[in-house]
Amino acid sequence: MTGKETKPRADIYARITDRIVADLERGVRPWVKPWNAANAAGRITRPLRHNGMPYQGINVVLLWSEAVARGFTSSIWMTFKQSLELGGHIRKGESGTMVVYANKITKTETDEHGDDVERTVPFLRAYTVFCVDQIDDLPDHYYGRPAPTIAPAQRIAHVDAFFANTGATIRHGGDKAFFAPSLDIIQMPLFESFRDAESYAATLAHECVHWTAPAHRVNRDLSRYAKDRSERAREELVAELGACFLSADLGIVPELKPRADHASYLASWLEVLANDRRFIFSAAAHAQRAVTYLHGLQPEPAEIDQAA
């Protein structure tokens, strides 16, 4: 049980991508958390660090996938050292889960003119974490099932307010959900055409991630979306990941029923992953950036108090 991985850096991308590919080949979207399953203990949330801070980006996908595969009920993860500092003991025979963090180094190189120039090189480092389900003797609050922080009726109001605060133009009608870049609008089917409020919210979350793309927001290039199948698959994965991240943040249950175009996107994702080992990392990073942007449009607590 060690806290750091020593494998070559490039291998981190390959190992994680291979795992995602294996899930997709089985028809499983590893970033979709089955909240209605037995392992959905406590409130709906992203995976959490020992201090309650949520994981971000690709680590959300990795830890959700591992929790489902191994039947973990807790959403809290920590390193071997952190468990010891809290008085915990990882049970004999338990194996950890790899998560990653981005870092960078600065190298000095000589350019074509013989001058020294500095170049920043980003890279990933891996380390190992364990789910609370694998650890004994932690303080009691790590094992409790926290009550939902928002009652069902309030939860929907909270979600509606979140989307209203983005300032996005949302129109209703027809039977399709989409973002129209030329008009800068989100088109949604009527609310009553969804099976429940949470399904509506999860679909709207997906479209709101698309809505963040224009240059005056997060500047994610959609110029080839309509003509390039692989680019369309990339953007749809960004939106799907972002919708799952945002659903967890808002405490809603994502729509688990596959979309009508799910099979074609699945094939496209597998094709792109086969040719680009960093595709899933890039998609998760773009999804995280979009969700962070949407959170940034929300009023500060003080503003809410004054408005009330």
Residue 73 exposed, middle or buried by CB count within 10 Å (0-12, 13-18, 19+): middle
Q: How far apart are CA 272 and CA 40, in angstroms?
A: 31
Positive or negative torsion for Cα 145, 147, 148, 152: positive
Q: Is the C-alpha dihedral spanning 134, 40, 165, 150 positive or negative?
A: negative
What b/e string do you get for 202-240 counting C-beta neighbours within 10 Å, with b at 16 or more?
bbbbbbbbbbbbeeebbebeeeebeeeeebbbbbbbbbb
Rounded to the nearest 10 degrees, the angle between the axes of helix 279-296 and helix 229-250 is 50
Rounded Cα–Cα distance for residues 212 and 125 (Å): 29
- Residue closest to 186 by CA, chosen among 243, 227, 145: 243
Give residue 38's pLDDT. 42
Helix H or strand E encompassing 153: helix 152-165
State how far the Cα of 42 lies from the Cα of 75, in Å rounded to an integer. Answer: 8
Q: Which residues contact 112 (CB under 8 A, 6 or more apart)?
A: none
pLDDT of residue 126: 93
Please tell me the predicted confidence (pLDDT) of residue 308: 42
Task: Measure the CA–CA gap between 181 and 169, rounded to whole angstroms.
Answer: 11
| Residue 252 · residue 161 · CB < 8 Å | no
Q: Are 174 and 191 in contact (CB under 8 A)?
A: no
DSSP class of residue 255 equals P
pLDDT at 259: 58
The whole-number pLDDT of residue 84 equals 97
Q: Residue 20 corresponds to which tokens in the numbers above?
A: 């995602």
| Structure token digits, residue 238 | 């960004």
Regions of the chain short of the pLDDT cut 70: 1-10, 32-44, 145-155, 253-264, 302-308
DSSP strands (E only) in the chain: 77-78, 89-90, 97-110, 116-131, 135-136, 169-172, 178-180, 185-188
Q: Quickly tell me which residue has 């992203």 as its tokens.
A: 46
Can you give the residue ranges of every domain in the chain?
Answer: 1-148, 150-308
Its pTM stands at: 0.76
- Name 90's bridge partners: 135
Residue-wise pLDDT tens digits, 170-222: 998 888 899 999 999 999 988 888 878 888 899 999 999 999 999 999 999 99
Report the pLDDT value the prediction gives residue 187, as an integer from 0 to 100: 92
With H, G, I as helix, E, B as strand and everything else as coil, classify residue 98. Answer: strand
